[in-house]
Chain A
Amino acid sequence: MYETIAFYLFSALTIGLFLITVMSKNVLYAMTSLAAGMVLISGFFFILGADFLGVVQLIVYVGAVMALYSFAMMFFDATKDIKEKNTNPALIFVLGGLSALALVLMFAAPIYNKSIQALYPMHKGVGNAQDVGIVLFTKYLVPFEVAAVMLLVAMIAGIILAGKKMDQSLTKDTSVDDDEILTQKDAK
């Protein structure tokens, strides 16, 4: 019974929070509700007994991805509303609704058909992490390694793009001396 209550509570809260994310014109509200929704999604994993995935959801999405989003938000004035440019709201509504419907049908069809079954069911008495690890490093080893290589490539690309002047320290920059900065400030 607790699980049912928790499920409906989490569902309602998640949908509500993600609605705020989409609807709100305030950057800060959108970001906060998205992060809170991510936390609640990890709650679904915990209800299903997938503790490991729940914690991974917390660490990856809440701890890392959302924090990077919010770091990008630093460049905006987070306390002001944003003017959105919606050139064709009707089209957006139809396309968004259709893709949502397609997703719901895709995931609901196997459940409705009752032909869904776990290919790698959890073992009693064995930790979640072990179960995931065994499947990941036997059957899905190649996709796992390919994903790792792709992430490595992305990381190197990011470093090359961002690191053009990395060997110069801004703190030790002596090309401009203090007097010059002061005279520029005075001129302003």
Chain B
Amino acid sequence: MEIVTFTEVETFVQHIPEVTAAGVIIKAIIILAVISAIAGFGTYIERKVLAFMQRRLGPMHVGPYGLLQLVADGVKLFTKEDIVPQNANSLVFKIAPSITAATAFIALAAVPVFPDFTIPHWVPLLGGVFVPSIAADLNIGILFVLGMMAAGLYGPLLAGMAQANKWGIIGAARTAIQFLSYEVVTGLSILAPIMLVGSLSFVDFNAAQAGGISHWLIWQQPVAFVLFLIAGFAETNRTPFDLLEHEAEVVSGYATEYSGMRWGMFFIGEYANMITISIIAAVVFLGGYSEAGIGWLTIILKVGFFFFLMLWVRASWPHIRPDQLMWLCWKVLMPIAVINVVITGIVMMV
């Protein structure tokens, strides 16, 4: 039984300044502000990327190259009438969007977002406060993020059930099926790299891949990487798995009756989840922020690549049918994931 010795832990702890409550609160505010802004800006990027892939121009009229389209959308969302359907269960109907947004941001609490820094001393009130790179440095960070994303399924689910609309109910049923099924694949696919590293902490994953590109886990676990990406697409409700709000079949699924900012909160939650999945994929498989000196830049590039990949796939592939979705999950991805875990275990034992 090998356990990390106490002296090792202590020497490791000494190098990091003390994390104070103020630092964590500042970090939380930074995450909220920046990720919301990126989520909003992501809608603009998504439109532009899709437009260029389809030989269109995308938003062009508001501001230079349509850059202010984001502001126009924001004003529209905030000022739109907030309609609650007559037969809907209004309390649950109103709570549901905030569940999606809240779980998406709570998941980000245990994920390394931006490098740590100390606020310079000349800043009044907050000078000298150390802001950590992870708001809550749990040593089981990956499990926490997966658990929080699992809890995120209540947003669409309750929204669909509360709105007294058949499209909503179908959307909610699809939410339950899709998220529950693909959680299995996410968990099993990420299990193999966890076995290799021997830890559930994002920091340990980062440290384990510190030796350059050849040390990235993607070379040892290519199957797990592909499986995780596919399941990640399904869990963030991206094309080709966006059956929850498939316009051609169920109008807008769970979001049919929503308008204004409540609908906007579903959107922000979805984009925050996309960023979370991108960060997990970057840290677990692509070396994270381990490059000395330019770690902050490489993690942004990696996350940006995964974000772009999601838009790329959306422009390239059609939706799939619900029965194909289930076939893919239970008859293809899950057996491959289990076999991958078993092979990883055998290789590690030998």
Contact = CB atoms under 8 A, between A and B. Distances in A.
B3 interface: yes
Interface stretch (A27-35, A101-109, A110-118, A176-184): A27-35
For the side of the interface on B, what is the size category?
Answer: 35 or more
A67 B157 contact: yes
A71 B158 CA distance: 11
A99 interface: no
Interface stretch (B86-94, B124-132, B271-279): B86-94
A122 B321 CA distance: 48
A172 to B, nearest CB: 9
Contacts of B88: 79
Interface in B4-39: 4-6, 9
A29 B172 contact: no
Contacts of B323: 169-171
A62 interface: yes
A55 interface: yes
Nearest to A78: B161
B176 A67 contact: yes
Nearest to B145: A55
Given A32-B95, A74-B161, A169-B323, A130 B147 contact: no
Contacts of B143: 52, 55-56, 59, 129
Interface in B169-213: 169, 172-173, 176-177, 179-180, 183, 199-201
A126 B200 CA distance: 12
Contacts of B6: 124-125
Contact of A74 (B140, B147, B172): B172
Given A52-B143, A125-B3, 13 more contacts: A28-B92, A28-B161, A32-B158, A51-B144, A62-B150, A63-B150, A63-B151, A67-B180, A73-B161, A78-B162, A125-B5, A126-B3, A129-B139
25 contacts: A26-B89, A29-B92, A39-B151, A51-B139, A52-B140, A52-B143, A55-B143, A58-B147, A59-B146, A59-B147, A62-B151, A64-B150, A67-B157, A67-B179, A68-B180, A70-B157, A70-B161, A71-B173, A74-B173, A74-B176, A79-B162, A127-B139, A129-B140, A130-B3, A171-B323
